[in-house]
Amino acid sequence: MQTMLQDLRHSLRQLGKNPGFTLAAVLSLALGIGATTAVFSVVYAALIHPFPYRDADRIVRLTVESKTGNEGPVLLNQQQIRILRQSPAVEDLIATDDRSLPLTGGDYPEEVQATSITANGFDFLGVSPLLGRGIQSSDAIDRQDPQPVVVLSYKFWLKHFNANPGVLGQTIELNRIKYTIIGVAASRFRWQATDVYTPVKVKFSFTKTI
């Protein structure tokens, strides 16, 4: 311990005699630590812990492959979804339909990415909205047209509503149809890089395996 204290005092004296070298060393260490922290943050978010969804390792997307090796989504109707949910290998299932829609009603239209999702989608993925609620069964009653309601992505909420917490109940216009805002997704909820989420007319499906 005594030797270590002597070495520390000697090092401090040497640093005091060379303030230029000391400043350069401190700056180099600060830049190195900052860069390392930034890189780790990116790697952690993208590779180590990329998905905030509950049981992400058990979520499977159903696809079909043609004889030529091309892969595409499985297209299902409501009856087929009900049958698939009865499979002993499937704990639960959601269906989505991803598309681009024009954001209208403003000075000029803007293309946004929209995901229509079944009523159990937010519960399935286990990520509660930041504000309001997700899509519910009353928004997409079987054999009826879905209700014109929408959950905004966090990014869309920041860009178009300046993070206004009073956004619930307001409307946006998608493809000249008015949608009532019922929720804002959590910041890490970035399913399919979507801007807005609406009730689905079933096409694509994901399952959670037992």
Kind and range of the H or E run holding 65: strand 63-65
pLDDT for residue 153 = 93
> According to the model, what pLDDT value does residue 47 have?
47
Q: What is the pTM for the complete model shown?
A: 0.68
pLDDT of residue 46: 47
Q: Name the one residue in this structure whose structure tokens are 């499906």.
A: 205
Residues 6+ apart with CB under 8 A from 93: 81, 84, 85, 124, 205, 206, 207, 208
Predicted pLDDT at 81 = 75
**Residues with Cβ < 8 Å from 144, sequence gap 6 or more?**
none
Mean pLDDT by 10 residues, the chain (210 residues): 63 63 64 63 52 73 78 74 80 83 86 88 86 88 82 94 95 94 89 87 54
Task: Give the closest residue to 132 by CA, choosing from 82, 178, 166, 171.
Answer: 166
